[in-house]
């Protein structure tokens, strides 16, 4: 009997939490949508060598943007990091909205700053394209500025663009196809 009441209580609580924003009216609903943060879960289970640099790159993004948050969780992750040897180098295969696979190449990670590689590829998963002609201060210039570039933090334009892309949460993601981007 107590279990039944506990369940009923949980349902009532869930309904209360769900209905409260609607009761608050359209003005505050718009504010809540603006403030909504989408969480992207990522797995490092298949990239154990680079776990610390992947997490450092994710932390750089989390400090830089407000509408999306990257959280490491190996079960049920939509974004998976992998590692190995590939003559094409590192790449991201992603829909640009938090789903896909990021591959980090061993050889490239010895030549270039591995945190920059991880943060750059993560930028693709957050919706940014490559811009190899950009300066080192631009994360999505990737390998363009050469191996001496160690910047792993997005610039202000990149931060703004990601916040803009994630302003409406996951809704914009549903029709996006997967594409492959390099470093």
Q: Active site includes 121?
A: yes
**Is there binding between residue 181 and Zn ion (CB under 5 A)?**
yes
**CB 66, min distance to Zn ion, A:** 23
| Backbone phi and psi for residue 107, each to the nearest 5 degrees, phi listed first | -60, -45
**Is there binding between residue 130 and Zn ion (CB under 5 A)?**
yes
Q: Measured from the CB atom, is 77 or 96 closer to Zn ion?
A: 96
**CB 92, min distance to Zn ion, A:** 7
Residue from 98, 127, 142, 145 touching Zn ion (CB under 5 A): that is 142
Residue 27: alpha-carbon gap to chain centroid? 29
**CB 176, min distance to Zn ion, A:** 17
Q: Would you call 53 exposed, middle or buried from its count of C-beta atoms within 10 A (0-12, 13-18, 19+)?
A: buried
Catalytic pick among 121, 138, 158, 177: 121
Catalytic residues: 121
- Judged by the rule CB under 5 A, the positions of this chain that interact with Zn ion are 130, 142, 181
């Amino acid at each position: 009997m107590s279990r039944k009441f506990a369940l009923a209580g949980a349902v009532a609580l869930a309904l209360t939490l769900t209905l409260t924003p609607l009761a608050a009216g359209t003005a505050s609903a718009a504010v809540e949508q603006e403030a909504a943060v989408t969480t992207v879960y990522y797995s490092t289970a298949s990239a154990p060598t680079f776990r610390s640099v992947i997490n450092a790159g994710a932390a750089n993004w989390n400090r830089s943007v407000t509408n999306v948050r990257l959280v490491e969780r190996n079960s049920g992750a939509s974004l998976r990091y992998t590692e190995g040897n590939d003559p094409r180098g590192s790449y991201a295969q992603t829909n640009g909205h938090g789903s896909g696979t990021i591959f980090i190449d061993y050889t490239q990670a010895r030549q270039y700053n591995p945190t920059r590689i991880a943060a750059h590829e993560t930028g693709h998963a957050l919706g940014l394209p490559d811009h190899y002609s950009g300066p080192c201060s631009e994360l999505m210039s990737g390998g363009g500025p050469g191996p001496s570039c160690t910047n792993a933090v997005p610039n202000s334009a990149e931060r703004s663009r990601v916040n803009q892309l994630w302003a409406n949460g996951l809704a914009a993601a549903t029709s996006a196809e997967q594409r492959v981007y390099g470093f």
